[in-house]
Amino acid sequence: MQRMSRQTLRYVLGSIALVSGLGLLANGLPAAASMSTVPTITWSNHVQTSPSGIDWASVAYGNGHFVAVGSTSTAGVVATSSDGQNWTTTSQGTVRWAVVTYGNGRFVAIGAGISSGTSEAMTLADGSNTWVTGQLSSTSTGWSSLIWAGSQFVAADYSADIYTSPDGTTWTFAATIPGANLGSLLAQGSTIYGFGSIAASPAEWTSTNGGSVWSPPATAPNYGYGAAAGNGTAVIVANPPSGSDTTSPVVATSSDGTTWTPQTGGEGIDWNQVSYGDGLFVAEADHYGAYSSPVVMVSTDGVSWTLEPGANDLTNGRWSAIAPGIIVTVGDAGQIETGTYSGQDTPTTAPTTTTLQPTVTTAGSLASTGLNFGAAFWVGLAAIAMGSATLLISRRPRRRC
């Protein structure tokens, strides 16, 4: 997949499609309680000034906490919050953390060493204050997505190399999708969906055996840089075909994960990712494209979208996480944008407190595939540009296939 860069390459991390336990069924996605209209959202901007120079890459919600990951030029950074307003920020290794997700009673993040070119994972179990890290691979890897797929974590890089782990520490190489540029993954029930491109055309792949075997590519409505599902609907988002295009659809929805309908909303804006929680879809974007703002849009059904002008302070929105009554969106320049609103009386889709898991004390390694991890391709869940011998750092370039 080829992309036209708007800025000098600089390492940017995006994130994952955080979707757990919603279950895509053969007869469609199961419906869940949702809001009938987008609530009034009050936005507040928080800029993390210490350490300086943070680029936030990803954020996830689970067990009553938000966790954001990112990096400075010299260190990995993690921030935690229970309310989206007050954050505790710490340095965590010399890793550019790219993606974070929550599942199986723990947060799991993956990134690449700032100078080593090796990849690492770290886990934070419920009830623990200690992250456990370990080397994943000796090969430079551009991580594009990481999800909890109901029974295991599944990670992908831009060259469509798939890895799986039951606990976030012991990783196994599962497969490579030939010729694919892959980024966003979506796990629903026993099926994993992958979105990206092949031969410069949007494509979708499916796996029903945990990521070891993938279907031939199917036609997709767009490159699916971000993917999420909830309330009986799957949503994928992308860029407009060109910077001056303000009419082409950049959102598509599906009730079964394979048949897609283009929708109206957010045309002319470079959408990076979409998340679902508390009855809401939330998408975020770069300040690129035909419009410089806003960078967040919200929907209750994936069909009708509301642009959020209050979120304009976010320079480049990378990823959102949603809890009952709270939306947290992270971006570059240390920015965390928090939206508060009146949530559902009985939330059914936001992650809930889970049984505490034993603290992980050992970290496993991810087998090297010996592949050449090249290409700067941002798809939905992450934004990393890496070369085979050196780590090439970039501000997320405009994605083009």
DSSP result, 271-296? EEEEEEETTEEEEEEEEEES-----E
- The separation between CA 35 and the C-alpha centre of its own chain, rounded to angstroms, equals 23
Q: Count the helix, strand and coil residues of the chain and give each as a percent rounded to the nearest 5.
A: 0, 45, 55
Q: In angstroms, what is the C-alpha Rg of the chain?
A: 18
* 167-205 tens-digit pLDDT: 998 888 899 999 999 879 999 989 999 999 999 899 999
What is the average pLDDT across 145-171?
92
Which token pair is 340? 């508060």
Helix, strand, or coil (residue 397): coil
Q: Is residue 300 a contact partner of residue 254, using CB atoms and an 8 Å limit?
A: no
Give the pLDDT confidence of 60-111 residue by residue, as tens digits: 999 999 999 999 999 999 999 999 999 999 999 999 999 999 999 999 999 9
Two structure tokens written together for 269? 């804006």
Q: Residue 48: is its pLDDT beyond 90?
A: no
As to burial, measured by CB atoms within 10 angstroms (0-12 exposed, 13-18 middle, 19+ buried), residue 68 is buried
pTM above 0.75, yes or no: yes
- Helix or strand or coil: residue 325? coil
Write the DSSP string, 259-276. Answer: S-EEE-S-TTEEEEEEEE
Residue 377 reports pLDDT greater than 80? no
User: Which residues 6+ apart lie within 8 Å of 86 measured at CB?
Assistant: none
**Cα gap 297→25, rounded to integer Å:** 27
Please state, in angstroms and rounded to a whole number, the distance separating the CA atoms of residues 101 and 81: 15
* Per-residue model confidence (pLDDT) at position 4: 33
pLDDT over 90, % of the chain: 55
Question: Tokens at residue 352, please?
Answer: 């809930």
Which residue in this structure is represented by tokens 């002319």?
268
- pLDDT tens by residue, 282-325: 999 987 666 667 789 999 999 999 999 888 888 789 999 999 99
User: Are 278 and 325 contacting, i.e. CB atoms less than 8 angstroms apart?
Assistant: yes
Amino acid at residue number 348: T
Q: How far is CA 236 from the centre of its chain?
A: 12
Q: For residues 10, 245, 281 and 156, what is the CA-based torsion angle, rounded to 10 degrees?
A: -40
Count of C-beta atoms within a 10 Å radius of residue 327: 27
* Burial (Cβ within 10 Å: 0-12, 13-18, ≥19) of residue 52: exposed
Distance CA 24, CA 398 (A): 31
State pLDDT tens for residues 252-269: 999 999 999 999 999 989
Can you give the pLDDT at residue 313?
80
**pLDDT score of 117:** 75
The two structure tokens encoding residue 355: 């049984």
DSSP 366-382: PPP-------B---SS-
If you search the block for the tokens 């470079």, which residue do you land on? 270
- pLDDT tens for 214-229 read 999 999 999 998 999 9
**Token code pair at residue 322:** 């949603």
First-to-last alpha carbon distance for the chain, in angstroms, is 5
- Residue 128 pLDDT class (50, 70, 90 cuts): very high
Instruction: State the residue for tokens 């840089």.
Output: 225
Kindly compute the dihedral angle of the four CA atoms of residues 146, 320, 296, 377, in this order, to the nearest 10 degrees: -20
Give the count of beta carbons closer than 10 Å to the beta carbon of residue 259. Answer: 11
Residues 124 and 92: beta-carbon distance below 8 Å: no
**Does residue 340 surpass a pLDDT of 90?**
yes
